Amino acid sequence: MDKKNLILAFESSCDETSVAVIENGEKILSNVVATQINSHKRFGGVVPEVASRHHIEQVTICIDEALKEANVKTTDLTAVAVTYGPGLVGALLVGVAAAKAFAYANNLPLIPVNHMAGHIYAARFVKPIEFPAIALLVSGGHTELVYMPYENEFQIIGETRDDAAGEAYDKIGRVLGITYPAGKDIDELAHKGKDSFHFPRAMMHEENFDFSFSGLKSAFINTVHHADQINETLDRADLAASFQQSVIDVIVEKTLWSCEQFSIKQLILAGGVAANHGLRDTLSEKLSEQYPDLDFVKAPLKLCGDNAAMIGAAGYVAMKHHVFADASLNAEPSLEFDWVPDAVK
């Protein structure tokens, strides 16, 4: 029998410290996630210096728990994988320093992983990825469509020109008095209301794969402020439903158009906002109507947020393609996949 490939993976790009042990790129032996949400709730959003301080408190505890839970000894490991970007630089540095030291002390190869590739590979825990594929990545920091012509190749075909979808959720959440992180509560509230405000759907019919959510955010805020001024109370559920419908319509429309333009075998939905039920359901419905043969793979709900399991899965693929880093690996806060400038056909 072949020796198992066991990757110890690190993730610390934002407000979750996570360490996981992944077998053969497809099986989660452990996935320890320490979330700092309670801390950043105090400030209504992630404060980078506070995040970095929590990461260093947690990192070795997470390593230890991940190894114990997986029942794996250091000598069983094949490699170490780590998120080196994109994300908050101070936060990334803690994971990178810990992963490098661990790999060095135990003579293990080090695999640098792009956080966004990690999000896509959360879907790997549902089934193998088949190429060519497109991934719709929606999170607090990103909204992008990524084309994957073959394994370990990621090309951006479109992204947000201003706010990420998750960012817009947090901003309108503040207006509705919903504490950070607002995504889940707005999603729930939206299900109780109906789309009655008809907010704008920016760029929806433009022939590109880009998004824009700042106009929607402004329209929302103006609507609420105007009502405040004339002492009118708007239905919060309807507001949430209208906002969410506008976000979903644009994302779904652009995604469907990408399926039209590229001949792909799979569409992957991933990223923190991929946990949004409205988005998951609408996309499933539209895809089964319009592209019944297309394989739609949604990242498991539990793995939509930041976690190291997804980094281990992406790291396994990178390792297959001989992507390694040395002891000088640095954090790259604005790391991006390559763009495909001629994506629009």
Partner 1 sequence: MKVLALDTSNRPLSAAVLDDNQLLAMTTTNIRKNHSIQLLPIVETLLKQTGLEAEDLQRIVVAQGPGSYTGLRIATTTAKTLAYTLNVDLVGVSSLKTLAANVNDEGRIIVPLFDARRDNVFAGIYQRTATEMKTIMADRHISIKHLIANLLEMQVPVWFIGQDVSIYEETLKLQLTDNFHRVSRAQDLPDAYVLGQLGLNEKPVEHPFNFVPKYLRLTEAEVEWKKKHPHEDTKPYVEKI
Residues that bind partner 1 (CB under 8 A): 17, 32-39, 41-43, 47, 49-50, 52-54, 56-61, 63-65, 74, 89-90, 93-94, 96-98, 100-102, 104-106, 326-328, 330-331
- Tell me the closest approach of the beta carbon of residue 312 to partner 1, in angstroms: 17
Which C-beta is closer to partner 1: that of 83 or that of 160? Answer: 83
Q: Give me 7's structure tokens.
A: 């990757």
- Which string of b and e fits 207-225 if b means at least 16 CB within 10 Å? eebbbbbebbbebbeebbe
- Tell me the closest approach of the beta carbon of residue 310 to partner 1, in angstroms: 15
Give the integer Cα–Cα distance in Å for 283 and 252.
6
The entry of partner 1, Zn ion, none near residue 306 (CB within 5 to 8 angstroms by kind) is Zn ion
**Helices within 176-235 (DSSP H only):** 183-190, 214-229
Strands (E), 89-210: 110-114, 133-138, 143-148, 155-159
Give the integer Cα–Cα distance in Å for 8 and 67.
8
Which C-beta is closer to partner 1: that of 56 or that of 234? Answer: 56
Give the integer Cα–Cα distance in Å for 59 and 51.
12
Name the one range near Zn ion by CB under 5 A: 58-66, 273-281, 299-307, 314-322: 299-307
Query: How many residues belong to the site for Zn ion (CB under 5 A)?
Result: 2
The entry of partner 1, Zn ion, none near residue 264 (CB within 5 to 8 angstroms by kind) is none
- Tell me the closest approach of the beta carbon of residue 298 to Zn ion, in angstroms: 16
Give the integer Cα–Cα distance in Å for 74 and 106.
7
Name the one range near Zn ion by CB under 5 A: 22-30, 163-171, 298-306, 326-334: 298-306
CB 18 within 8 A of CB 34: yes
Binding mask 84-123 for Zn ion (x = CB under 5 A): ----------------------------------------
Q: Give me 4's structure tokens.
A: 């198992």
- Tell me the closest approach of the beta carbon of residue 195 to partner 1, in angstroms: 32
Give the integer Cα–Cα distance in Å for 11 and 211.
27
CB 317 within 8 A of CB 120: no
The distance in angstroms from the start CA to the end CA of the chain is: 48
Name the one range near Zn ion by CB under 5 A: 49-57, 145-153, 225-233, 303-311: 303-311
- Give me the amino acid identity at 213: F
306 belongs to the binding site for Zn ion (CB under 5 A): yes
- Tell me the closest approach of the beta carbon of residue 10 to partner 1, in angstroms: 10
167 belongs to the binding site for Zn ion (CB under 5 A): no
Which C-beta is closer to partner 1: that of 47 or that of 221? Answer: 47
Give the integer Cα–Cα distance in Å for 313 and 22.
7
The entry of Zn ion, partner 1, none near residue 151 (CB within 5 to 8 angstroms by kind) is none
Residues within the interface to Zn ion (CB under 5 A): 139, 306
